[in-house]
Structure 1
């Protein structure tokens, strides 16, 4: 039940600001944010399938979420994390015909696109502004997505630092008190499946970038934080 919001060319100071939570089974192995061996990619790594859910390289940003669709996911299908990995290595997205449903954000110096393979292959170029994404269709405005979009918009109009964005990503308010809505919050604390990490990406008008990842254990306690700088060419 991942969630993310992005401000794309939405403020004179910032070319790109993204904030998102990766929700996953706590038992699935993953490596924290780091420079990859190739020297280009900065991302965490899914140690089970080898790809990533979110990352940056020089002038590129990518993020993938699963798209909730009846009958999926299927373990035998190709990993969606390869879509982000390929993009960050400078390649065009090439989804395999047999791939679990996904939402994908891809940004470079000129454009931000959202792509999906359900119900059919579609790629849309997004206008400057604030956009949100979760595990529904791109046009769906889930409770958690709307809350994170609003928090990002308020942050752009403030002078607050990174901590305010991480506070927004730690929002545990559910849509209702109904137990069925336990996974409707921005941040999910659950011993089996929940928020594994929060990530903030900032690229200013001069092309100076910073990516920060904060990791959590099954109890929601912070287990680590990594901050790395990168360049974003014009």
Structure 2
């Protein structure tokens, strides 16, 4: 993912309200979200090039999501796929903090990343550019290609949109997709400096990115209510547009006995 906004234990119905856009090269092969044949309790999309995923949830209600950390000065020789960080959490039945401690011991092998790991009762965050494991309190959070809650224009707009929806009692799948569909570029004087050319920085500054070769490939909404009922809704787009290519929607009740 390249833009995530989420509410944790801030709503009378939903413990988790999660909305995210995955931005990627249009040519990178990807499979739509579904329950995996090899791991039938895991619901996630699949990166067909490296075999991992950018976000997913299992039938126990454990979920994980990842964004890349944008810094062109970070160089690694043959680094492992960051998508495995998400997949391995969903497979291994570990407390979020326990899993992040395990990742911390080998985090320097990876390119820059931010990782969220959650269970029905705990939500953890870790970046290998900060090397600090955080268990998050209730709140509204935003994450893009820098650290959690970095004040980038796209992060601020998405957080404001989610906060307004909760305040006004308008939380719905369509409302969350509308937040993710914001394709306004940020003013030049508000752009972050991440070490890439300013014209590219501006092109990728919207919540929803559209360019010739790279952009928002899919939007995903995840809702988990206080009874453990899950709604997972993915929309994939024709490259370079907001025209929906296909949709995948799943509903299920969490179950502790999946391993």
Is TM (by shorter chain) over 0.5? yes
Question: Secondary structure at the residue paired with 2:141?
Answer: strand
Are the equivalent residues in 2 in contact too, given 1:26–1:217 (CA < 8 A)? no
Q: CA deviation at 1:233?
A: 5.6
The answer for unaligned runs of 5 or more in structure 1 is none
Q: Aligned equivalents of 2:67 and 2:119: distance in 1?
A: 19
Question: Would you tell me which structure has more helix in proportion to its own residues?
Answer: 2
Cα 1:18–1:139 shift into 2, 3 Å? closer
Q: CA deviation at 1:69?
A: 2.1
Deviation above 6 Å: which 4+ runs of structure 1? none
Q: CA offsets per residue over residues 24-57 of structure 1, 9 Å max, x none?
A: 0000001001011121100000001100001001
Are the equivalent residues in 2 in contact too, given 1:201–1:212 (CA < 8 A)? yes
1:229 corresponds in structure 2 to: 251
Question: Would you tell me which structure has more strand in proportion to its own residues?
Answer: 1
Are the equivalent residues in 1 in contact too, given 2:76–2:109 (CA < 8 A)? no
2:17 corresponds in structure 1 to: 17
Does residue 195 (structure 1) correspond to residue 216 (structure 2)? The answer is: yes
Q: Aligned equivalents of 2:227 and 2:47: distance in 1?
A: 31
User: Which of 101, 125, 138 in structure 1 is aligned with 2:148?
Assistant: 138
Q: Aligned equivalents of 2:139 and 2:254: distance in 1?
A: 19
Q: CA offsets per residue over residues 131-153 of structure 1, 9 Å max, x none?
A: 11000122411110111111111
Which shows bigger deviation, 155-164 or 216-225? Answer: 155-164
Does residue 116 (structure 1) correspond to residue 127 (structure 2)? The answer is: yes
Cα 1:127–1:214 shift into 2, 3 Å? same
Q: Aligned equivalents of 1:177 and 1:231: distance in 2?
A: 45
Cα 1:147–1:56 shift into 2, 3 Å? same
Number of matched pairs: 233
Q: CA deviation at 1:71?
A: 2.3
Cα 1:73–1:174 shift into 2, 3 Å? farther
Q: Aligned equivalents of 2:213 and 2:166: distance in 1?
A: 34
User: Which of 173, 185, 189 in structure 2 is aligned with 1:174?
Assistant: 185
Does residue 148 (structure 1) correspond to residue 150 (structure 2)? The answer is: no
Q: Aligned equivalents of 1:114 and 1:73: distance in 2?
A: 23
Q: Aligned equivalents of 1:147 and 1:189: distance in 2?
A: 17
Q: CA deviation at 1:118?
A: 1.2
2:7 corresponds in structure 1 to: 7
TM-score by length of 1: 0.93
Cα 1:73–1:7 shift into 2, 3 Å? farther
Q: CA RMSD in A?
A: 1.9
Are the equivalent residues in 2 in contact too, given 1:216–1:222 (CA < 8 A)? yes
TM-score by length of 2: 0.84
